[in-house]
Amino acid sequence: MGYRAPQADIRFALDHVGQLGDLLGLASFDHLDTGLSGEMITEAARFVENVIAPTNRAGDTAGVRFDGRDVRVPEAFGAAYRQFSGAGWGAVGYPAEFGGAGAPLTLNIAIREMVVSGNLAFSMCPFLAGGVAAVLLRYGTDDQRERYLPALASGEWSGTMDITEPQAGSDVGACTTHAERTADGGYLIRGQKIFISYGDHDLTEQILHLVLARLPDGPPGSKGLSLFLVPKLLLNPDGSLGPRNDVTVLGVEHKLGLHGAPTCVLAYGEQGRGAVGELVGQEHQGIQAMFTMMNDARLGVGLQGLALAELACQRAVTHARERIQGVPAGTPAGARAAIIEHPDVRRMIMTMTASIAAMRAVVYATARAIDLAEQSGDADARAAWRLRADLLTPTCKAWCTDLGVELISTAMQVFGGMSFIEETGIAQVYRDARITPIYEGTNGIQAIDLAARKLLGDNGGAARDYLRSASATATELGRQDPDLGTALAAGVRVLDQATTLMLSRDQQRRALLATATPYQRLFGTVLGASSLAAGVVHAHAAGAGPETLAKPIALLRFYLNTVLPQVHGLLPQVAIGDEGLYSLTAGQLTA
């Protein structure tokens, strides 16, 4: 089964949630217009359907190979990667001066959504390179940008993020990889990192590793870390590729999913010389740079939750339309019918479809906030959008990936027994998706980020601002359809109550952290509703007709009626705080 890009759904989210037309009016995007962006979507859809998607199952089946020195990705990825890079799909988000299209993140996210649905394992290579590029753009020197960005934009080189160590997972500050200064002003890195996606592979000759390491005078904890660029191949003075750096692949993981994407253990200095690195940004300031990269990456992982749910859902719909079983309730003739006509199956499909529309709205709304935080012509507006973007990012990541995994499980249920057979293909989506609530900061970490940093750290400012805008959306929606407006307002009120509870816990940190996850789930559930509603309101105001509005309105109504009410089950979980949480000892909890 392939993938069909849901172009109408993507365009609705792009036009009316991301409000791309408005973004393209910003000075930074003078070189683009909606006609051009529309062509990019159409072209990308065709490219993903024809070139990327066919590599997905092949990549899962073939897996990666490691010969003890080098890693090879599935053969099908090579040709796809050359076409992908050749057509410039990896360069959409790069500035024009480095060979990119200079597109808003929101437009880039729409294209990435399709690529991720087409093949998540494949997509990680170019999108990790994009993350490295984003760090260099913001923290690199002019010289670094000139040396590295064109090759990253063209896809000639790729990049990785090397953060985790066996003893330093969520606790990044426990990192022991260290760096020393050399006489010529350079650095040598020694240590090991694990879970390095595309840490080695044969899609590009050169790989740029961004490595967190501690200098001898770096204070303990995460704030003593510096960021280094460690190339796989040393660069000759003329910029050409030289011999291998002292970076060794110690192993490749055998994973539940993402079989096509190598996950490596890398050692620096294993051969005795030390891995040559160059500093990115300031010494001891590495964690800030890494956070920038991770924040971008978190939006990207939220997008993965959406994109895989979309893939699973469309396969489930196709199956449910083809699979004939039983006689649906209310069929007078008693004829057997496709299972999509059975109420319980239709419930699953409507729940998936409406939830996916809400997730897409959240992802594109977050991307828009980031675009405006960076490109708005007004400094106050940039500051306000930065707060909004920072508020939404962890929830975009956690809610879209938790819900994504759940919806993919729902899609499996639609397939019944066939879902358990690997040939059907849906099991791969289930396996691949399970990492998304974990990597780039587990969803527990996202919840703590939301509660402790984005909420309490800001005294609730950005959250209150969001709640006001969601209330305003409910009011506008109510003018269009009173029932919908009332339903949304009810959800927003529950989030308001929950937010007040959380803000009251600045002296009860344990209660705050104990309820961060249900609070974030509640937040995401309301954010999905308000973001989708904002799109409907915008489209309505823009004079969109029923051919554009009928589906989003039907999905919004279903979401408000059957998904949003979950908030009533979540609020008590927030209210309870940490009561009873430590009523049993660790020993009592052990079998």
| 85, 172, 277 from 31: Cα distances, Å | 21, 40, 36
- Residue 324's Cβ-count burial label (10 Å; 0-12, 13-18, 19+) is exposed
DSSP collapsed to 3 states, 527-570: HHHHHHHHHHHHHHHCCCCHHHHHHHHHHHHHHHHHHHHHHHHH
Contacts of residues 59-63 at CB distance under 8 Å and 24 or more positions apart, as own/partner, are 59/119, 59/121, 59/122, 59/259, 59/260, 60/121, 60/257, 60/259, 60/260, 60/428, 60/432, 61/259, 62/259, 62/260, 63/259, 63/260
Interhelix angle for 379-415 vs 461-480, to 10°?
70
Nearest approach in angstroms of CB 131 to a copy of itself is 18
Binding to a copy of itself, residues 137-176 (CB under 8 A): 164, 167, 169-171, 174
Site membership for a copy of itself, residue 381 (CB under 8 A): no
Site membership for a copy of itself, residue 324 (CB under 8 A): yes
Nearest approach in angstroms of CB 402 to a copy of itself is 9
Binding to a copy of itself, residues 539-568 (CB under 8 A): 550-551, 554-555, 557-558, 561-562, 565-568
Catalytic residue among 440, 476, 547, 579: 440
Coil, strand, or helix at residue 296?
A: helix
Q: Beta 275-280 vs 187-197: how paired, if at all?
A: antiparallel
Binding to a copy of itself, residues 184-213 (CB under 8 A): 194-195
Residue 440 known to be catalytic: yes
Site membership for a copy of itself, residue 412 (CB under 8 A): yes
Q: For residues 202 and 578, which CB has a smaller minimum distance to a copy of itself in the complex?
A: 578
Site membership for a copy of itself, residue 220 (CB under 8 A): no
Among 343, 383, 482, 542, binds a copy of itself (CB under 8 A): 343
Binding to a copy of itself, residues 481-510 (CB under 8 A): 509-510
Among 1, 26, 338, 472, binds a copy of itself (CB under 8 A): 338
Binding to a copy of itself, residues 9-28 (CB under 8 A): 9
Nearest approach in angstroms of CB 573 to a copy of itself is 5
Nearest approach in angstroms of CB 348 to a copy of itself is 8
Q: For residues 96 and 584, which CB has a smaller minimum distance to a copy of itself in the complex?
A: 584
Q: x/- binding map, residues 290-319, to a copy of itself, per CB under 8 A? A: --------------------x---x--xx-
Site membership for a copy of itself, residue 572 (CB under 8 A): yes
Nearest approach in angstroms of CB 326 to a copy of itself is 4
CB-CB contact of 394 with 440 (8 Å): no
With a CB cutoff of 8 Å and minimum separation 6, the contacts of 62 are 74, 75, 76, 259, 260
CA dist., res. 20 & res. 40, Å (int): 13
Binding to a copy of itself, residues 420-459 (CB under 8 A): 420-423, 427, 430-431, 434-435, 437-439, 442-444, 447-448
| 354, 396, 540 from 351: Cα distances, Å | 5, 19, 24
Binding to a copy of itself, residues 234-253 (CB under 8 A): 253
User: What are the residue numbers of the active site?
Assistant: 440
